[in-house]
Amino acid sequence: MTVIGSQQHLDSPGEPPPWSRQASRPYDPRWRGPDFTPASQAELPAAQAELWDEEAARDELMAAAAVNKWEAESIFVKLPPGLQQADLEGKVYVDLGCGYGRTLLYAARDLHPSVAIGLDISSVMLSKARAYADDHGLDPVLARGGIDRIPLPDESVDFVYSSAVLLHLPEEMVRAAISESLRVLRPGGVALFERCLIGWANPEGVQNKLMARLGRRVLRVAFVRTYRRRDIERIVRGAGPVSRAEIVPEGYKVLPKSLFTRSLGRLKPPIERLNRRASRRLRFKGFLVESWSVRLVK
């Protein structure tokens, strides 16, 4: 592998450079990487980019992990356990919806991939990711683009990862992102979507489902989408051939932390404790599930 600035290229025989799907793309000095968004974006991607730019400008940690940046001890808050246990040593790693770099930079620093690539729709998030990378002495590849059309060649990646991103996308973009992930994976490669798909058969999920249906057009940009297990199975079946697929419940919710947009205030801590206890004891496949992780092996 050669490294030129932050532009990393795979120089093994038969391996094209990471961004070879397009012959040339605009280079943005803010994140020191290419921009794959079209000059005139479709309405939904443009609205998504604008929303996440605004959220990142206010507080990138709050936008990505629901943690106030001024109260956080570091940028590596709420690190998902699946990523921490992943074997990335010497592998090509791609982080979809990398945001300000919470999981991307953790992986680059602690899990030692040969190449770490972050893709995000928000230019503000990517600019912050580059600043944090510089602060930590890291040099990932950063590129702007939608995760439903990954700008990488077929079978060029060993590990695709995404955390809490798919839940903000319409189902057609979720299907495309998973299908694209399988396309870029080498045989035997892994795609892990951790806590990315939210369940609706629980008190909070029902609220999200109702709000999404009532405000379908207004909330289309980034509102939380909810799924049943069979919905996820259908999406996975349609994404492409895999040698193994795992759909894993990630916690259970017996009481909501809010009533629609109204916080429950002082009731929130005991409700969270009750939900944690329920998560340790319940083993339903779909009922009361808070969210799912999906792990696919090509």
Per-position b or e across 4-35, b if 16+ CB within 10 A of its CB = eebbbbbeeeeeeebbebeeebeebeebbbbb
pLDDT in tens, 136-182: 999 999 999 999 999 999 999 999 999 989 988 888 999 999 999 99
Q: What is the pTM of this model?
A: 0.84
- Residue 52: Cβ within 10 Å count: 24
For residue 10, what pLDDT is reported?
40
108 or 228, which is more confident: 108
Contact 101, 75 (CB under 8 A): yes
Is residue 264 in a domain?
A: no
Number of domains forming the structure of the chain: 1
Is residue 103 in a domain?
A: yes
13 or 73, which is more confident: 73
Task: Report d(CA 284, CA 58) in Å as an integer.
Answer: 38
What's the domain range around 48? 2-201+226-253+290-297
* Mean model confidence pLDDT for the chain: 83
Is residue 180 in a domain?
A: yes
Name every residue whose Cβ is closer than 8 Å to that of residue 29 and which is 6 or more positions away in sequence.
Answer: none
For residue 227, what pLDDT is reported?
87
Contact 107, 88 (CB under 8 A): yes
For residue 27, what pLDDT is reported?
87
For residue 11, what pLDDT is reported?
40
Per-position b or e across 190-214, b if 16+ CB within 10 A of its CB = bbbbbbbbbbbbbebbebbbebbee
Question: Has residue 232 got a pLDDT over 60?
Answer: yes
**Structure token digits, residue 42:** 């479709």
Is residue 214 in a domain?
A: no
Is residue 49 in a domain?
A: yes
Element (H, E) at 209: helix 203-214
pLDDT in tens, 45-89: 888 888 899 999 999 999 898 889 999 999 999 999 999 999 999
Per-position b or e across 217-248, b if 16+ CB within 10 A of its CB = eeebbebbbbbbbebbeebbeebeebeeeebe
Name every residue whose Cβ is closer than 8 Å to that of residue 60 and which is 6 or more positions away in sequence.
Answer: 69, 99, 100, 124, 125, 128
| Confidence band of 24 (pLDDT split at 50, 70, 90) | low
Is residue 99 in a domain?
A: yes
Is residue 172 in a domain?
A: yes
pLDDT in tens, 235-278: 999 999 999 999 998 887 666 676 666 666 777 777 778 767 77
**By mean pLDDT, which of 7-21, 37-51, 123-137, 183-197 is the weakest?**
7-21
- Indicate which CATH number applies to the domain containing 42: 3.40.50.150
Is residue 156 in a domain?
A: yes
